[in-house]
Amino acid sequence: MSPDSDAVIKFSEPGLIRSRVVDALRDAIVAGRLKPGQRIRERELVVSLGISRSPLREAIRVLEAEGLITAAPHRGARVSDLSVDDLRATADVRIMLETYAARLACERLDDQALTAMTVQIDRAGKGERGRKVATELNYSMGFHDVFVGACGNQKLIQLYQIVKRHLRRYQLLAFARLNRAQRATDEHAKILSAFRKRDGAAVERLLREHLSRAADEIIMHLKTSVDGGEAARSSATSQPPGRRP
């Protein structure tokens, strides 16, 4: 293929630069390297990323639309705070999407998919010493990814991915501060049992309870935190508290 071919994607293309900046900023926010309430310092980012202000500002607008960044006139852009109202609204959307996906997937799941769900539960249940919170969460979310991916509705899967990204900051808090990992694994095992029986009603009920319980635990923590910024200090590199053997 010639270097001048139209099929060659060049980093100098504005759209690609913006996409990579969006990904970099989103990852920093979700992982906790950029904290809730922290100011987005354009000058520093322009230098560190080696870009112009234009793609950075476009990326900020994209993440503002996703709810991860809040921009105000004369005050600049900041990482959005973790809030009860935001979590509750997003969790409601997640419940709606995932229970519908589970209903669609219940009769479609083959042995391979059921095995993949079992593997995710087994990995999550091992609880190796020193395992990072982000790894714990990835194993847990892998269980959900399997049945959502098997639902057969591509638009639903796309929406699920958006909601999943938005909730990750809250989930990292739950796994780092609230010892959520083991409870999630136990609840996943019950949901998988219902999937194996092709009991759609039980799957939906157990999944709804599972997602609601997770959101309620985080909401309670956000409401009772003495330090309003406590939630912001959770990060993907934190070590989880002691797990149940």
Q: What are the residue ranges spanned by the domains of the chain?
A: 14-79, 84-233
Banded pLDDT at 236 (limits 50, 70, 90): very low
Instruction: Read off the pLDDT of each residue in 108-121 and give the average, rounded to a whole number.
Output: 95
pLDDT at 232: 42
Burial class (CB in 10 A: 0-12, 13-18, 19+), 64: middle
pTM across the whole model? 0.74
pLDDT at 16: 76
pLDDT at 27: 82
* Third-level CATH fold of 14-79: Arc Repressor Mutant, subunit A (1.10.10)
Is pLDDT of 203 > 50? yes
Is pLDDT of 9 > 50? no
Query: Mean of the per-residue pLDDT values for the chain?
Result: 84
Q: What is the percent of the chain with per-residue pLDDT over 90, rounded to a whole number?
A: 46
Banded pLDDT at 231 (limits 50, 70, 90): very low
CA dist 30 and 33 (Å) reads: 8
Is pLDDT of 226 > 50? no
Is there a contact between 78 and 114 (Cβ–Cβ < 8 Å)? no
Q: How far is CA 62 from CA 59, 65, 166, in A?
A: 5, 5, 13
Is pLDDT of 210 > 80? yes
Banded pLDDT at 30 (limits 50, 70, 90): confident
CA dist 138 and 165 (Å) reads: 12
Which homologous superfamily is 84-233 in?
GntR ligand-binding domain-like (1.20.120.530)
Q: Where is average pLDDT lowest: 134-138, 153-157, 184-188?
A: 134-138
Banded pLDDT at 142 (limits 50, 70, 90): very high
